[in-house]
Amino acid sequence: MAFLVEHDLVDYINAASTVFIAAFTAVTCFAVWRQLKASKDIERAWLMLTLTKDPMNTMMVCENTSVEGNKKSVTTTALLQLMLKNDGDGPVWVKQFLSKMTLIDSLKDLLHTPQFDRDKDDRHWYPPAFVENSATRFQITTDGSIVAKNHLVIYGKVTYLDKFREERFSTFGYVIHAGKSELERLPGHPEYNRNT
What pLDDT score does 15 carry?
82
Q: Which CATH code fits 44-192? A: 2.60.40
For 101, other C-beta atoms within 10 Å of its C-beta total 23
Is it the case that residue 122 has pLDDT exceeding 90? yes
What DSSP state is assigned to residue 22? H
- Domain ranges across the chain: 7-43, 44-192
Would the pLDDT of 194 be above 80? yes
What would the pLDDT profile of 29-60 be if each residue is shown by its tens digit?
887 777 776 666 678 899 999 999 999 999 99
pTM (two decimals): 0.80
CA angle, corner 196, sides to 190 and 82, nearest 5?
Answer: 75
Kindly tell me if the per-residue pLDDT of 26 is higher than 60: yes
